[in-house]
Amino acid sequence: MACLADDGNRVVGVDVSISKVNLINAGSPSIVEKDVDGLIKKGWEAGNIEATDNYKTALRDADVSIICVGTPNNKSGHLDLTRIHAVAQDIGEALAESDRFHVVLIRSTVVPGTNEKVGTTIEERSGKKRRVDFEVVSNPEFLREGTAVQDFYNPPVTVIGTSSNRAFEIAKSVYRKVDAPVRKTSIAVAETIKLVNNSFHALKVTFANEVGSICKQLGIDSHEVMDLFCQDRKLNLSACYLKPGFAYGGSCLPKDLRALRLIAHDNYVDTPVINAIEPSNKYQKQRLVDMITETGIKKIGILGFSFKPGTDDLRESPIVEIAEILLGKGYDLKVHDKNVHLSNLIGRNKQYVNEKIPHLEKIITDDLDEVINNCDLIIVANKEEQYADLPSRYPGKDIIDLVRIEGGFETSRGRYQGFCW
């Protein structure tokens, strides 16, 4: 309310708490929050702020209503959406008496599917049609207590989830004075992002604390370790490794994770999050085996065999493990990887292959067409350029995509499955 009024909007606050209503109507904030008191007083004096417990009065001339009621956990841990649906009923009753197009913004943290239920409730209560008389937009907030005003004006992105261009433009205009990119998304994405954000923040806090526990036990300055960690904005604090895909592998990640986990174990430090990483990664491999098994297809082609594109390193490559499992189950396999030449493999790389798949020379080839034409199901395991147009070049071929080929789903006429999408 404070920020929107300061931007020149006329804002009416609605609350069941009369004490909150009275405070706002006296030009005083109902919470302790930096800079809010001055903005509330300024907006009230300018005539841009008032409050009421009568939702029909508040919505009579409103273009936009913003739902920001609490959604606490219930006893089972689920979000309690009771207040969301109660407000939706109120909005529906109020819109029954209005002839103007109205946009409802859901700012509260909700679960996917809430937007649709809110829209249905408003339709039932108002007798109006969604997308004709009103629209419900998912517009999650990312404000932190203590810095809410600063965060309002400096968000990394403003998320507006809707399929309606008209509603998008109206919602966008609400934040016209906020200097931040606006991202139009699907409703489901907008409903999910807040939950993902906060879960990741919780993960970061827990990971840093586990590192701190290990360091303390070893007499190492954990803050210096994590300060150095945070200086790497190319990999550590970046979008790297944060795209859904297949399991990690290679000569570094598995080895060093095990080393850190065992250092903690040997020094009697409990690290549940760090301990859970490897089992979770193993589960991703099992998911792929299950997906392949469920197709009922026995002739499998694997495109990309090293643990990532642009290398011939097969050590702890997760797709090598998958091949080993499939061969053990009697599947007929063909493998293509332009970077892997058996005659050039040496040292630990060669030893690893000999241990896992000693007869690799019988199933690997540098002829891509041979693999495609002789197999009924294709697993795309590396993001090599020559695989980019695979679905359109080989129409009708069944594909399981581990790397997200651009446009794979749209161009494939066979059964296309993305691994995590």
What residues act catalytically? 252
CB-based contact 288:325 (threshold 8 Å):
no
Among 234, 290, 242, 33, smallest CA distance to 144 is for 33
Q: What are phi and psi of 9, to 5 degrees?
A: -85, 155
Q: What angle do CA 274, 279, 280 make, to 5 degrees?
A: 85
DSSP-assigned letters across all residues of 30-74: SS--TTHHHHHHHHHHTT-EEEES-HHHHHTT-SEEEE-----B-
How far apart, in whole angstroms, are the C-alpha atoms of residue 198 and residue 20? 28
Give the amino acid at 179: D
Among 416, 392, 394, smallest CA distance to 403 is for 416
DSSP-assigned letters across all residues of 261-312: HHHHHHTT---HHHHHHHHHHHHHHHHHHHHHHHHT--EEEEE--SSSTT--
Find all residues with CB under 8 Å of 338, minimum gap 6, and list them. 366, 384, 386
The single residue listed with the structure tokens 């499992």 is 325
Q: Please, which contacts does 211-216 make with residues 24 or more away whose CB atoms are closer than 8 Å?
A: 213/264, 213/269, 213/270, 213/271, 214/260, 214/263, 214/264, 214/267, 214/269, 214/271
- Strand segments (E) across 330-397: 332-336, 364-365, 377-380
